[in-house]
Every structure is written in structure tokens, then in C-alpha cells.
Structure 1
Amino acid sequence: MSKPKRLHPAAVILHIVIGIRNSLFFFILLFVTLFDDKLLYAFLAMLALLLLIIITSVLTWQRFTYRVEEDELRLEYGIIIRKKRFISKHRIQSIDLTQNILHRIFKLTKVEIETAGTGAEAEASLICVTLTEGEALRAELKSISSREQHENEIEEEAYLAQTITRKQLLLAGATSGSIGVLLAIAGFAFSEIERFIPSNFYDDAYRWIIGLGLLIMVLFIVGTLLLLWLLGIIGTMIKYWNFTITKVDEDIVITRGLLEKKQITIPLKRIQAVGYAESVIRQPFGYATVIAEIAGGSNEKGEDFSTVLFPIMKVEEVEAFLEKFLPMYVNKQNNMQSLPKRARKYYIIRMTIPALLLLGVVFFVFPHLSWIPLILLAVCVGLSLLQHKDAGYLINGQKLLIRYRNINKVTMVLHHKRIQAFNKKQNWFHRKENLARLKLSIIGKMGLGKHYTIKELDVTDVDDLSDWYSYRKKG
């Protein structure tokens, strides 16, 4: 594969679509600015901008070449300034194949290559090659033949693969909690288009709502929330459709997506920690999301920006799942060391102070709405009690299991060799009551640190953890 190759001609269309999307603000600005008395100029300006995008897209495709030579992927690109990029095979951490609707219609794929230094975006991206070429390029860069890769995938899929069921997919959507995100998006969208709404619209809408009556208003609100909930279910099902995790040699391969099919490769050596998160919606039903922290990041992010290894499963099934795919991260949760009772007040104080301040402001300014911060105060107290109850740790040889809760309950297993830093912190109040705060750091997304904190542990427990981390023996 030493001869330079161009991307598939369909890459021109993708570049045009990307160019229009990135220039959408300028199209709207031209249209709004010149709409009243200079409509012709507005259309001519937009046509010129569109023509510029098309020409740039064609030149970008024509000037982009790639080849594999001397154990390197060599890229050459640039319209005016010519750039060359060489990526050694030995630096490549993962090669992901992604197919959107256009890709799948024409049997194309997008190849994204990540290295140890990859940031928010892939180190190299071939936005449009044939599926056969993409698989051959991945095989070439992974230094295995296509036939061997195919045989390995079939063998591993038969013995080390797990696919989400339709029931699990529906449960994942129903308990995703995405209704809050949709409400936030709807609120932002409304604030942006508000300037274009006539002033008399609000008066007419108010009179219309009042005319509906209380029962109709309640049904309207419930119907809107139900619609947003259904949209959240649909969005989750589209994202995780046919989610399959497969162990292939020293890699974890994740395939998922309905409209956009993604195939993500995670080398086992990049995994820094593995665990599961139980959201406040899923925990009462005994379900959790299996997550991992990957050095350098991943394109498959979900729970608190961690990498999703499986969207939803019963908590009691997690251990068997890890035994199957990541046995080095199995850690039985017997006799976990919990927090002392004297630490509980710190959790309550931290959570309730903002609610108490809000209650004071509302009581003096809007006394008839004081019930709202009172409800918030009760929720904060309940959450603080759960945070204290759930936090803890367990040492098992070279593995450390930690559990904490912000809003969701998170359980993680870390290997000693993956922990980059250990931090013990005490304030004046902590020293008085023999408490301390523990902070552990590992390598996380985009090469940055990922931190785990357990607050108000007994100081002897933190010292025991310090001895374990430093290989000191008690004595």
C-alpha cells in the first residue's frame, strides 16, 4: 500500500455538508441582514459562499492523499500550505470505523486513528473510504492479515461477545434520564428564537392557556413530558442499537448505532479503571451502566464522560460480565470499609447550605414560593445521607475498590499500578475528629487526570491506604 491514495469521491459531498454546517451562522446572518430591501444581494452572497464551499471541498479532496509505507501511515494534505503527517504503527492505540447513513448507503466508512497523545479529536481521520479499504487499512496498521482478523472476530464473537437485548435497550431508554437534557435544549432553543416572536404572541398564548382550564393545562404538561420521555427513549435506542462488545486478542471492540454505526477499538493496556454507575432512576430497579476510564479518551462516552462498556445490566450480572471480558478487574465487594458515623454531619452541611441560602432569599422576596426551596432542602438532606452511606473502599491484593456518590452511585476498581497519585488532606475540623479526605488520580480522557475522592474517611483508614499505595508494611 505504498502508492498514495485519495479518499472516495463521496468525501467531496461530506466536505460540502460539513462546510455548510460550519457556515450556517453566516448564511443566517446574510439572510437576516439583507432580507428586507436587499433580498437579491442576500441570495447572491449566499450563492457565492456556497460556491466557495464547493470549490474548497473539491480541492481539499484532491489534495488529500494517504499511504502506508515503512511501518508508517503517511498523510499529505493542504490546499495552499502543504502539510505532511507521519504516524508510526507503534504509536497507534486504536482504529475506529464509523458509518453514518451516507456511508452505509454506498458501503463506505470513516476511519479514525488514535494515538497515546490523542486529544479531543482523532490523531488522523479518513472521512470517506470504501468499507473494504477501511478494513484493509486497519488490518495493515494492526499488522495482521484480513483473513486472520476475520477468523479472530468470528472465534471471539462465538465465545467472548455480548449483545444488548431489545428489553435491555428499551429499559436503557426509559431510565436514561434524558428528559432533563431535552428540556434544557428546548429552553435554550426557545431563548434563541424568542427575539423573532411578535410581542402580542404572549398575550394571545396567555389568554388561550387560561381558556383551556386547569385540567386541560395539566394534561398538556403531562403530554409534553411524556413526549420528551419518548424522544429520550428513541434517542437512546438509536445510539445503542445492536450494541455489541467483543474481546479480540488484546482489544475490546464495541459496535453500536442505528443511523450511525460505530466500531470502536479499546486496547486492554489503555484501560485504567473499570466499574459501574447506578443512576437515581436505575438504582431502585437494580440496574447499572458498566463504565471504564481509558487513557487518552474514547469516542464512546456516556456516564459522566466515561467510556460505556455496556449500557445497562443488572448489578448482580456485572461480576460475571467482568469475569468474561476483564477478569483482572473483578473484585468481590465483601466487607467494604465504610465511613464513620461522625462524618455524616459534614455531608449534611455541605449539601444543605446552598438550599438554606436559597430558602432565605425566597422567604424574604417571594414568601409564597417558600415551599420550593423546602422541597429542595429535603432532597439535599436525603442525598447527603445516601452519599455518606454509600461511600467506602476495599483493598484486595493489588486491586482497590472504591465507592462514592455525587448524584449517581459509582463503584470503581483500580489497579495499584494504574494509580498515578495519592493525596491525603485534612482541615482543622478533620484533625479534631481524626478524619481525612482521600484523593486518587489516574490517567483519563485526552491524557488528563481523572480523580476519585472519598471525603471524611477515618484517618487510620487513609493511612492504611497510604501504606498500601507506598508498599509500606504495617508495623
Structure 2
Amino acid sequence: MPSGEGEVHRTDPLSFVVQAIAGLRSAIFPVLAALFVLRDEGFGLSLAILIGLTVIILSGVRAWLAWRKFTYQVNEEDIRVEYGILSRAARSVPFERIQDVSLEQALIPRFFGLVEVKFETGSGGGEDLKLSYLSEEEGERLREVVRERREGESDSASQSSASADAPAAEEDAQALFTMDTQRLFTFGLFEFSLAVFAVLGGLAQYAETFMGIELWDPDLWRGWVESQQGFISSLGPMAQVLSAIAGFAALLVIGSATGLARTFAREWGFILEKTARGFRRRRGLFTRTDVVMPAHRVQAVEIGTGLIRYRFGWHGLKFVSLAQDAGSSSHVVAPFAQHEEIDPIIRAAGFEPPAEDLDWHRASKRYRTDSTIIDAAFFLIAAIPVAIFAPTGFVLIPLALAGITALANYFGWRFHRHALDPRQVIASRGVLSPRTKIGSRVKLHSVEIRQGPIAQRRGYATLHLGLAGGDFAIPGIPLERARELRKAITQSIAATDFSQLDYSDDRSARKSDHSGFSSNLAAT
């Protein structure tokens, strides 16, 4: 752990061991290729083993050199890393650019008690800074030091806070949402996935190459059934019916098992806590992540659901912020919850769930008509070549899709609505799987009214709200209504001169109460 300004440090010595173990994967393909090519030679196995050992040794040497050449410094205003074996590179990130610091533990580093420290800069494009790997204690302490210096406090205060305030924050943590095994199992059933069949299809293709048969040839399986003696041959045509039923059952079993496996691996041990630092989320079975999101950096909240889970009252909650969460700007804070579980989390972030007496406004009826015509026209145009070249009757398919699309747009318009309250902008859309986004009026950066050629002539527009870390658009609003919203929101943004705020007072306010509206204004 840095004990002075500008001292050069390396990551944990066990880091190169983890990197070397991870590099063993690169030895698998050369060994298998050597075994396949030299399978008929007497020395094939020996050569394959020699190639594998060579790759392992080279991978270990490279990992050790990379560890020796990777250094980092925690300075007064930034954190600096230098890396590279043959060609050197250096990168410096000011503390004020760091949006958040997260800790991640993959399966192999966890065995060695190591974590990967990620500094979220909000730049996107995979340019966030990370240190691989530090011990768990040093990773946690470094996260606290960076946060304190990002807030502009003195070095001594940051060091004492890193050692004293962190345990106190742990003791004062309030659990807002957790997921037990039963909840995970229920969630996994709704995460039905057929992605495994893509893998099985690829394996089947390789099997056809090596076995010299066509696995998808129905005559092959029909001949196999006819060649069998006993029960299968006695079934006759019924064997095909039973095969179809067995295939459908296998589809359900494999799809459900895949969804359960993905859910347990991703969400195992899920817990969301409210601490003095903000929201802390931990989850993961094989790869354990530990993310802390300061409450004042939450730009918006999004409530979503799925086609089937919506019928059972299950929803998911996300926080939109500048920091990245697995490549997305939205942090999942309640992936599978009821409304009564989601509402307290929304309030803890300084927002309010949509009230029942809100003054909801729908999109323009002209927008509904134009969207219906445009979406249906795609299938109507596609019906022309189908009617010319396809067999008789196939033209009914695009015509039916055009009708379904038209009905969906026409009736779905009733569920595309928005509202404005004194503090928030709320937008909701979707019939079968509705989604609601809530944004703070003072945390928006800009308001843009955009019109295409059709919208200009028909008198409606899309309202684009500049949201840090995400997007917020309300389409099809009547032009006068869009201007009213822009005026009201810009007045809220301009009501506070953020450059004149006392951020030292704001830090004390956030430590005592993150949900206060005035502290959210200052934090913005």
C-alpha cells in the first residue's frame, strides 16, 4: 500500500502466477493440433507434450516479465501506471476523472486471495484503468484512498479514513436487497436460454466432419430405427411422434438448465447495501464483483421486466451512471424483485417511484398513425417478391406480420406516455413488457428537440434528454408539448450555479444523508 507520495509499486507477486495459469489455455490448441497431425507417428505424443511444455514455459516467462515491468504510483492528483516489456507505455488518470472504483475476483485469482481493481473513467471503449492483481486488503484500501483524494481531501485524512472509516462503514451498512437460493432458482427459470444449442450445433458440425455422416439427414435416423430390434422397431410411425415429444422435452430441459446455470453463476450471493459511501453491490459465483456506487452519481433509474415475468409481478431495477458495469452504463441493483422491494431502493437513491396521480401525457396520434404505416409497410413491400417467386399461400405470412405490427403499434400507443413532476422526468413504454425510466431534472445536461422530415410536416418531435452515462429519449411528443418540457427542464437545470457550490459541505451532507434533494443538487 502506498505510504508516501509518488512511490513506485508493483502489483502482488502472485499476479504473474495467475497470469501464467490463465495462459495455459494457449497451450491447449497447439497440443491438440500436434496430436491430430502426428497421431499415426510413434513420436506424436512426445512431440505434443514437448510443444505444450514449451508454450507453458514461454507463457510463464512472459507473465513474469510483464509483472516486473508493470508499476503504478498514487500521486497527489492522479494515479499513474507504466507497462510494457519491449515497448513502454505510461498512462495517468486524474482522480477527478475517476467515476468509481470496483473490485472483481475471477475464479483463479480468488484461490490466491487477489482482486482486480478497476478505475471507471466513463470514457467507454474499454479504456478504463485496472490493476491486476492486488491482495484483497490492499485493493480495498486503495479504493478508499482514491475516493478520498477524488473528493479533494488531504492525504492524512484519506489515510485515516481508509483505515478507520471503512470498517465503520461496513458496520453501518444497511441491506436493501438480497437474493436467496429460492429466489435465484425462480429467476433462473425465467431466464430460459437456447444459447447452448448454438454450441451443440457447432459440435455436431465438427462431428460430421470426423465421422463422415450427415447428422441432420432424416433417412439416416429412419434407417437406424428400422434396423433396431425389439421395442423401438415395434412402434412403427409412433416412433416419430415419440421422438418429436422427446426432442421438445429435451429443448425445455436444456434451455431451463442453461438459464439456471447462467443465473446462479452471475447472481450468486447477490446483496445490495446502503453504506456511508453509497450503494455497495456484491455478486457472482465464479467471478465475484464488488461495486460501490455513490448515491449522488446515480443519474437515473430504470425499471424493466420481461414478457412472462411481468405476468407474475417480477421486475428489475437499474441505476444509470457514468461508470461501467460489465460494458453497460446501467448498474443492476435489483435484477428480480417485486415493486414493494424496488420502491425503497429508488427512494434511497434520491428518486421517487411514479405516483398514481401523475399528469400523464401520451404521444401524438399522428405519430401513432405514421409509425403504424411505416412499420407495416416493410412487410407489405416484402410480400411483393414473395407473391411473385414463392409458392401460393406463402404471401399470407408477410401480410399477417403486417397486420400484427399495425395492431401492436395502434394499441401500444396507449402505453407510451410521459410525465413531469417538480423534480423528475418519467417516461414509460411497452405493453407486454413495460419499461419505465426516471431522470432527475437537475442532473440532465441538455434538452434537444429533434424532428425528421415526416415529423416536421406532422407537427411532432422526439425529445432527447442529455443524460450522463446513458440515453433518455421520448418520441412522438406534440411540438408544443416538447417546447413546454424543454422550458421547464432547462429552468430546473439553470436554477443552481454549480460552480459556486461548497463541495466540502456537500461531502458532509452526503455522508449523513444521501437521499436529501439539496445534496443531490450539490453533487451534480
Classify the TM-score, shorter chain: 0.7 to 0.9
- After superposition, give the CA deviation of every residue in 1:75-110 in whole Å (9 maximum; x if it has no partner): 333222344444444443222111222233332222
Correspondence for 1:153: 170
* Cα gap change, 1:45 to 1:372, in 2 (>3 Å): farther
Correspondence for 2:291: 264
Q: Is the counterpart of residue 231 in structure 1 residue 258 in structure 2?
A: yes
Aligned mate of 2:115, from 104, 109, 113: 109
Correspondence for 1:196: 209
Correspondence for 1:315: 339
* Cα gap change, 1:283 to 1:170, in 2 (>3 Å): same
Correspondence for 1:53: 59
* Cα gap change, 1:13 to 1:314, in 2 (>3 Å): same
Shift of 1:149: 0.7
* Cα gap change, 1:231 to 1:379, in 2 (>3 Å): farther
* Cα gap change, 1:7 to 1:428, in 2 (>3 Å): closer
Q: Is the counterpart of residue 350 in structure 1 residue 374 in structure 2?
A: yes
Correspondence for 1:169: 184
- After superposition, give the CA deviation of every residue in 1:149-180 in whole Å (9 maximum; x if it has no partner): 111122123xx53212434323322223x515
- Identify unmatched segments of 5+ residues in structure 2: 148-157, 226-238, 493-524
Contact map agreement 2:415 2:431 (CA 8 A) in 1: no
Q: Which 10-residue stretch deviates more, 274-283 or 314-323? A: 314-323
* Cα gap change, 1:153 to 1:365, in 2 (>3 Å): same
Report the Cα distance in structure 1 between the residues aligned to 2:89 and 2:276, rounded to whole angstroms.
35
Correspondence for 2:485: 465
Report the Cα distance in structure 1 between the residues aligned to 2:461 and 2:204, rounded to whole angstroms.
45
Aligned mate of 2:16, from 2, 5, 12: 12
Correspondence for 1:62: 68
Aligned mate of 1:326, from 334, 344, 349: 349
Report the Cα distance in structure 2 between the residues aligned to 1:213 and 1:162, rounded to whole angstroms.
49
Q: Which 10-residue stretch deviates more, 358-367 or 270-279? A: 358-367
Report the Cα distance in structure 1 between the residues aligned to 2:199 and 2:468, rounded to whole angstroms.
32
* Cα gap change, 1:400 to 1:218, in 2 (>3 Å): same
* Cα gap change, 1:452 to 1:327, in 2 (>3 Å): closer
- After superposition, give the CA deviation of every residue in 1:236-269 in whole Å (9 maximum; x if it has no partner): 1221112111222242211111122110122334
Q: Which letter does structure 1 place at the counterpart of 2:344?
A: A
Report the Cα distance in structure 2 between the residues aligned to 1:84 and 1:219, rounded to whole angstroms.
59
Q: Is the counterpart of residue 279 in structure 1 residue 306 in structure 2?
A: yes
Contact map agreement 1:402 1:413 (CA 8 A) in 2: yes
Report the Cα distance in structure 1 between the residues aligned to 2:200 and 2:473, rounded to whole angstroms.
34
Correspondence for 2:518: none
* Cα gap change, 1:377 to 1:181, in 2 (>3 Å): farther
Q: Which 10-residue stretch deviates more, 64-73 or 217-226? A: 64-73
Q: Which letter does structure 2 place at the counterpart of 1:256?
A: R
Q: Which 10-residue stretch deviates more, 1-10 or 435-444? A: 1-10
Report the Cα distance in structure 2 between the residues aligned to 1:353 and 1:184, rounded to whole angstroms.
33
Aligned mate of 1:79, from 78, 85, 95: 85
Report the Cα distance in structure 2 between the residues aligned to 1:15 and 1:174, rounded to whole angstroms.
36
Q: Which letter does structure 2 place at the counterpart of 1:243?
A: F
- After superposition, give the CA deviation of every residue in 1:287-335 in whole Å (9 maximum; x if it has no partner): 211012211423374xxx6321210112354333312x21235442523
Shift of 1:467: 2.1
Matches within 5 A, 1:343-422: 343-363=367-387, 364-367=389-392, 373=398, 376-377=401-402, 379-385=404-410, 387-405=412-430, 408-422=433-447
Q: Which letter does structure 2 place at the counterpart of 1:328?
A: F
Correspondence for 2:463: 438
1:245 aligned counterpart, secondary structure: strand
Report the Cα distance in structure 1 between the residues aligned to 2:222 and 2:107, rounded to whole angstroms.
41
* Cα gap change, 1:312 to 1:103, in 2 (>3 Å): same
Query: What is the root-mean-square deviation of aligned Cα atoms in Å?
Result: 3.5
Report the Cα distance in structure 2 between the residues aligned to 1:349 and 1:34, rounded to whole angstroms.
63
- Identify unmatched segments of 5+ residues in structure 1: 445-449
Q: With structure 1 as the length reference, what TM-score do the two structures score?
A: 0.82
Shift of 1:393: 0.9
Report the Cα distance in structure 1 between the residues aligned to 2:474 and 2:217, rounded to whole angstroms.
54
- After superposition, give the CA deviation of every residue in 1:420-452 in whole Å (9 maximum; x if it has no partner): 3333234554455433333333222xxxxx333
Shift of 1:274: 0.9
Q: Which letter does structure 2 place at the counterpart of 1:166?
A: T
Report the Cα distance in structure 2 between the residues aligned to 1:272 and 1:458, rounded to whole angstroms.
26
Q: Is the counterpart of residue 179 in structure 1 residue 158 in structure 2?
A: no
Report the Cα distance in structure 1 between the residues aligned to 2:355 and 2:322, rounded to whole angstroms.
25
Correspondence for 1:243: 270
Q: Which 10-residue stretch deviates more, 349-358 or 103-112? A: 349-358
Contact map agreement 1:331 1:399 (CA 8 A) in 2: no
2:474 aligned counterpart, secondary structure: strand
* Cα gap change, 1:299 to 1:86, in 2 (>3 Å): same
Report the Cα distance in structure 2 between the residues aligned to 1:26 and 1:280, rounded to whole angstroms.
45
Aligned mate of 1:451, from 471, 475, 485: 471
Report the Cα distance in structure 2 between the residues aligned to 1:204 and 1:372, rounded to whole angstroms.
27
Q: Which letter does structure 1 place at the counterpart of 2:302?
A: G
Shift of 1:22: 6.3
Shift of 1:357: 4.0
Contact map agreement 2:190 2:259 (CA 8 A) in 1: no
Q: Which 10-residue stretch deviates more, 70-79 or 212-221? A: 70-79
Q: Which 10-residue stretch deviates more, 454-463 or 45-54? A: 45-54
Q: Which letter does structure 1 place at the counterpart of 2:280?
A: V
* Cα gap change, 1:353 to 1:62, in 2 (>3 Å): same
Contact map agreement 1:356 1:377 (CA 8 A) in 2: yes
How many residue pairs end up in the alignment?
458
Matched residues, percent identical? 21
Report the Cα distance in structure 2 between the residues aligned to 1:468 and 1:308, rounded to whole angstroms.
30
Shift of 1:69: 4.6
Shift of 1:400: 0.7
Q: Which letter does structure 2 place at the counterpart of 1:402?
A: A
Contact map agreement 2:465 2:472 (CA 8 A) in 1: yes
Contact map agreement 1:16 1:57 (CA 8 A) in 2: yes
Larger Rg: 2
Report the Cα distance in structure 2 between the residues aligned to 1:107 and 1:428, rounded to whole angstroms.
59
Q: Which letter does structure 1 place at the counterpart of 2:472?
A: Y
Report the Cα distance in structure 2 between the residues aligned to 1:31 and 1:268, rounded to whole angstroms.
56
* Cα gap change, 1:341 to 1:204, in 2 (>3 Å): closer
